[in-house]
Amino acid sequence: MVFSKHLTNFLLAFVPDALIAWAYVKLSDGGWPEFWYVMIALQALYFVLWLKQAGWSWLLYWIYQRRTMADSMEKFFREHKFPAPEAWVGGLDDYLDQILLDDDAPTKLKATASFEKGTLNGMKLAQRYSLVMMMESATRLAMSSYRRNPAKPEVENPVAAPTAEDVLGMSKDELETVAWLADWGLRFWIFEDYKRSFERLTKSKAEMYANVLEMFERRIVQNLLHETETDKQRRFDRSENRMHNIWQAYPS
């Protein structure tokens, strides 16, 4: 299928030349020999023009454009924080593959490499082989210089470690309240004087603190759906006993 398509395009390219040769034969009252002479002359002319253009382009490239193109590429690598080329990298195509296959490369860098690789493949599909060869040659020169002094790699912002508020789903004030209750409970059970000087809480504040403790006990369970029945019953009993003590302490 691909071969037939290329063959069709090849034959269609000769249609304008054949029309020119046919017109020459008609005007000169010639025959088939003259037709083929014109066809060969046209192909020779095209070849000479292509040779002249290609030769001049490559001459200019080797005189000064290669160095200019290499400097531009090295500047591009440095601006986009490209990593140093590996030892196995032989050209631009390999260099872009190195970045795309690196799992640790930043997403932004991979997107840039993917865009450039698409541009390079587009030139190949357009049969701009001479330009691709020039770019490959300039890339090797640019990589030789860039490998010795690469840009510092761009590090993506690390994900901040979750805070206690994120993990437990409780505000800072609620967590500080739990710490305060635990601290006072420790003092109450260690020092005898605190039992006599302990300032009694109001009923509303005692209920509020009880709710905070109950919330804390729920939050520290990693997965409520997978909590064992024993642990669940123990947690419910503590909550019930806590509220029962409050009702006894504040009968009114």
* CA–CA gap between residue 57 and residue 68 (Å, rounded): 14
Helices (H) and strands (E) in the chain, counts: 12, 0
The single-letter DSSP state of residue 101 is T
User: Is the pTM of the predicted complex or chain greater than 0.85?
Assistant: no
Give which of 101, 111, 103 is closest to 81, Cα–Cα.
Answer: 111
Closest of 18, 8, 58, 63 to residue 38, by C-alpha: 18
Banded model confidence at residue 183, pLDDT cuts 50, 70, 90: low
> Cα 16 vs. chain centroid, distance in angstroms?
49
Query: What is the distance between the alpha carbons of residues 90 and 222, in angstroms, rounded to a whole number?
Result: 52
Q: In this predicted model, what pLDDT tens digit does every residue of 129-172 receive, in sequence order?
A: 888 888 888 888 888 888 888 887 765 555 566 665 566 666 76
Q: Can you tell me the distance from the alpha carbon of 133 to that of 144, in angstroms, rounded to the nearest whole number?
A: 17
Q: Cβ of 3: how many Cβ atoms within 10 Å?
A: 7
Query: Each residue of 67-114: pLDDT tens digit?
Result: 999 999 899 999 988 888 887 788 888 888 888 988 888 888 889 989
Residue 173: partners with Cβ closer than 8 Å, 6 or more residues away: none
On average, the pLDDT of the chain sits at 79
Helix, strand and coil in the chain, % to nearest 5:
75, 0, 25
**Taking a C-beta distance cutoff of 8 angstroms, is the pair 74, 95 a contact?**
no
Is residue 104 classed as helix, strand or coil in its secondary structure?
Answer: coil
Would you call 132 helix, strand, or coil by DSSP? Answer: helix
